[in-house]
């Protein structure tokens, strides 16, 4: 069990059955910027693309436990708060395995100037403002705007919550 504040109104699904669950975290810093990291070119899915922090929910984990683990593994930071629900979707990549994804706006603790990127999985990071969302679109597939759209939604949600 992790000690994480869940904001009022945030829906966290129970994971059970044979569904493959995926979690995503739009991490916001105190300046209202969102964290993005570039996937290494060797990754099977979405090589070289910008991404948010996230991954699969492992057997026996809750959604929040998976969020906390993925954030720690991919950045070295500690999840402190799930601030807002950014949506859910079902998608099937080229491996044919359907994924049920839930994405959240979150806050973390740690040295935000020095993420411990997961070796072999990510090559660089950026703190993105709304005016920089375009950098998150994959130039090899300009129609693939999921990450850019999700980060934009997270930034709008953070701005609305901060008043």
Rounded to whole angstroms, the Cα distance separating 133 from 127 reads 10
Please identify every stretch of the chain with a pLDDT value under 50, giving residue numbers as ranges.
none
Beta strand 34-39 pairing with 50-51: antiparallel
pLDDT at residue 63, rounded to an integer: 96
Q: Which DSSP letter does residue 110 get?
A: S
pLDDT at residue 2, rounded to an integer: 82
Quickly tell me which residue has 């950045």 as its tokens. Answer: 75
SS3 50: strand
CATH code at position 124: 3.90.79.10
Number of domains observed in the structure of the chain: 1
The token duo for 125 is: 């990071």
Domain limits at 64?
5-162
């Amino acid at each position: 069990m992790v000690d994480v504040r869940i904001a009022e109104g945030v829906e966290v699904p129970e994971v059970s059955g044979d569904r493959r669950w995926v979690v995503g975290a739009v991490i916001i810093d105190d300046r209202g910027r969102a964290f993005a990291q570039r996937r290494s070119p060797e990754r099977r899915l979405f090589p070289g693309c910008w991404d948010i922090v996230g991954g699969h929910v492992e057997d026996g984990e809750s959604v929040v436990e998976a969020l906390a683990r993925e954030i720690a593994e991919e950045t070295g930071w500690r999840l402190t708060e799930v601030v807002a629900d950014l949506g859910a979707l079902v998608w099937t990549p080229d491996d044919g395995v359907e994924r049920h994804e839930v994405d959240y706006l979150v806050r973390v603790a740690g040295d935000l100037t020095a993420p411990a990127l997961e070796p072999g999985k990510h090559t660089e990071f950026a703190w993105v403002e709304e005016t920089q969302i375009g950098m998150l679109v994959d130039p090899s597939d300009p129609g693939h705007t999921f990450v850019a759209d999700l980060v934009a939604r997270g930034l709008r949600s953070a701005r609305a919550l901060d008043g």
